[in-house]
């Protein structure tokens, strides 16, 4: 299986390679697997934890998090689309597109804009499937207010988080530090938080025999994915989602961390998918790519199920 991979904000391609190393090693042991990486061009300020463990340059695909009335956002996002098209032309064809954090949001918006511009192309013309890790629907923060996400019975987006925490959270790789541990310590880590997988479709049912359903899913507030112009507001923030937010027509895997401050945003992206075509994989970590043996194996199972589903698409 051949992946085109998009990194998170304030990082780079080499950092994503490090984050994906446990997954790529596990997949390669079973079958031939290739990972190709696209790198953003916007210089960014990383959080301290990134600089302690990884060298720069620290890059993003576009300003992150994007804000209303930010002219640079549209231009740089279009340039990011061009980078993906160039990678497809030079290194393709690819089986799947994989994105982490900003890269996941970019992957989703890229697929949607391509479908809009090329309505007569089959959905699988560029990629047969997609993987979103800590992926969120395309959104913008209203800069006229102090963006702050609050837990509310009517529209929860996760733990309380102020503007700076949100920016740090979306670009932080602090939880990825254990990737630097040896393979032996990862394999022996029997107490690591484990993944679970859940969905209501044939696509995911084969996974539930080996991993238990996600216990936290029932407590997540459901946001209406059919309301394309959905806005979540309070007295001090506004979070507006792009108007073209809609289900993909290719199979997808969505990986989210129960301790992620933007957990419910990752759920919103999954909730907007066709449940017969999407799989939710959940772990107990934060805004990161799972690294330990238990979580990695569940991730591998999800990828293999995705691969089989994509063949039938």
Which residues have a catalytic role annotated?
101
From the list 64, 72, 54, 52, the residue with the least C-alpha distance to 11 is 54
Please give the backbone phi and psi of residue 257, each rounded to the nearest 5 degrees, phi first. Answer: -105, 130
How long a stretch of residues is the chain?
313
Please give the backbone phi and psi of residue 193, each rounded to the nearest 5 degrees, phi first. Answer: -60, 135
Q: Read out DSSP for 271-303? A: HTS-TTSEEEEEESS-SS---SHHHHHHHHHHH
Query: What's the rounded Cα separation, in Å, for the pair 140 and 231?
Result: 10
Q: What is the CA radius of gyration of the chain?
A: 18
Rounded (10°) CA dihedral 75, 81, 59, 145: 50
Which residues on adjacent β-strands are paired with residue 197? 281
Q: Reduce the DSSP state of residue 2 to 3 states and report it.
A: strand
Q: Read out DSSP for 156-190? A: --SS-B-HHHHHHHHH--GGGGGGGS-HHHHHT-T
């Amino acid at each position: 299986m051949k992946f085109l991979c998009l990194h998170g904000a304030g990082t780079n391609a080499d950092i994503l390679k490090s984050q994906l190393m446990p997954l790529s090693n596990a997949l390669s042991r079973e079958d031939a697997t290739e990972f190709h990486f696209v790198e953003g061009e916007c210089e960014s300020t990383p959080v301290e934890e990134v600089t302690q463990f990884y060298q720069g340059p620290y890059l993003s695909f576009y300003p992150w998090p994007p804000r209303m009335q930010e002219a640079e956002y549209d231009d740089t996002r279009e340039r990011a689309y061009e980078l993906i098209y160039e990678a497809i032309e030079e290194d393709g064809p690819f089986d799947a597109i994989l994105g982490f954090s900003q890269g996941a949001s970019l992957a989703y918006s890229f697929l949607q804009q391509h479908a809009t511009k090329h309505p007569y192309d089959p959905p699988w013309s560029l990629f047969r499937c997609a993987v979103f890790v800590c992926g969120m629907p395309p959104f913008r923060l209203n800069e006229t207010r102090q963006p702050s996400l609050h837990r509310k019975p009517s529209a929860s987006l996760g733990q309380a988080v102020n503007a700076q925490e949100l920016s740090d959270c979306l670009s932080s790789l602090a939880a990825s530090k254990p990737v630097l541990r040896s393979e032996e310590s990862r394999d022996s880590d029997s107490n690591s938080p484990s993944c679970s997988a859940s969905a209501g479709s044939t696509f995911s049912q084969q996974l539930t025999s080996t991993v238990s359903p996600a216990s936290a899913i029932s407590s997540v507030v459901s946001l209406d994915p059919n309301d394309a112009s959905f806005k979540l507001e309070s007295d001090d923030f506004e979070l507006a989602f792009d108007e073209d937010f809609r289900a993909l027509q290719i199979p997808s895997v969505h990986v989210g961390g129960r301790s992620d401050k933007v957990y419910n945003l990752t759920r919103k992206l999954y909730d907007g998918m066709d449940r017969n075509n999407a799989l939710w994989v959940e772990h107990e970590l934060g805004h990161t790519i799972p690294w330990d043996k238990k979580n990695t194996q569940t991730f591998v199972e999800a990828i293999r199920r995705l691969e089989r589903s994509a063949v039938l698409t």
